[in-house]
Amino acid sequence: MFKKDLLKDKRILVTGAGTGLGKEMANHYAEHGANLFICGRRENVLKETATEIEDKYEVNVNYESLDIRASKDVDDYVGRIFEDAPLDGLVNNAAGNFISPTKDLSHKGFDAIANIVFHGTFYMTHSVGKRWIESKHKGSIISILTTWVWTGSPYVVPSAMSKSGLNTMTQSLAAEWGKYGIKVNAIAPGPFPTKGAWERLNPNGDDGSVMGEVPLGRVGEMGELQNLATFLMADGCDYLTGQTIAIDGAQYLTGGGTFSNLDKLSDDEWEQIRTMIRSSNTKDKADRG
């Protein structure tokens, strides 16, 4: 879809890139020429991912173990990167989540998610953004959200609340930082199965039906998400900012509609319904004389 040098020499930081969606996006950035900084909590996983990417593409991948909940560690890490040269892009991908009835959550359980998603993502965005402003360097921020930012979602309330806050951050900072050449967008992926997310959100291991129905009749393909993440990171569409883009096969629009379940009706059932509607129209007309 893109020229292989689209992101050549860009320096991009992807949080939580040791596994899952972060690793997939990092791979695609490297394939298009970017040098990478990847961080996450597990050093061994990061090291493996960094080696794997460097072996495949002619780019540098720096990895460092970092918990984004620790605000000072985040700022020190970003400071060290900028000592060499500014970053060009940041992908806020690191997250935490599990399904649970909200009444059974402890306050510590709520904090475990909110501290990673809501606080940690802000720390990272702030540490990078303020340095871009200081150094008058343009940059692109992409946060990985979910479609729950528009619909809310039962059983994942700490995540839905936190990601909604980041949706507001995306809109607010696009407006506040536009004058500095910083674009701020977000992606709201629907079901893109990855081991980490699926084990926590779909522990029964079924085919994804627990996630609701997708009009396209399938889960997302990783290449589709990678292409969107690369398009948003590249130069050439800077006027696109402050947006959260859903990539979910129209799942959330369908699930939210009053008539979504009509999707299941057969042609015969539709014919019966048409007949019933026509007969009640005819009766109405007769009643009106």
Which residues 208-267 are close enough to bind ligand HXC by CB under 6 A? none
Site membership for ligand HXC, residue 103 (CB under 6 A): no
Site membership for ligand HXC, residue 119 (CB under 6 A): no
Q: How far is the CB of 68 from ligand HXC (least distance, A)?
A: 11
Which residues 127-166 are close enough to bind ligand HXC by CB under 6 A? 146, 159
Q: How far is the CB of 250 from ligand HXC (least distance, A)?
A: 14
Q: Which one, 87 or 211, has the nearer CB to ligand HXC?
A: 211
Contact 144, 196 (CB under 8 A): no
Site membership for ligand HXC, residue 202 (CB under 6 A): no
Q: Which residues contact 264 (CB under 8 A, 6 or more apart)?
A: none
Q: How far is the CB of 201 from ligand HXC (least distance, A)?
A: 6
Q: Which one, 109 or 215, has the nearer CB to ligand HXC?
A: 109
Burial profile 248-276: b = 16 or more Cβ within 10 angstroms, e = fewer: bbebbebbeeeeeeeeeeeeeeeeeeeee
Of 236, 122, 126, 132, whose CA–CA distance to 179 is shortest? 132
Amino acid at 276: M
Q: How far is the CB of 152 from ligand HXC (least distance, A)?
A: 14
3-state helix, strand, coil in the chain (%, to 5): 55, 15, 35
Run of H or E residues at 65: strand 61-65
Q: Which one, 151 or 172, has the nearer CB to ligand HXC?
A: 151
Which residues 166-195 are close enough to bind ligand HXC by CB under 6 A? 191
Strands 139-144, 182-189: pairing kind: parallel
Which residues of the shown chain bind ligand HXC in the complex (CB under 6 A)? 95-98, 100, 106, 108-109, 112-113, 146, 159, 191, 196-197, 200-201
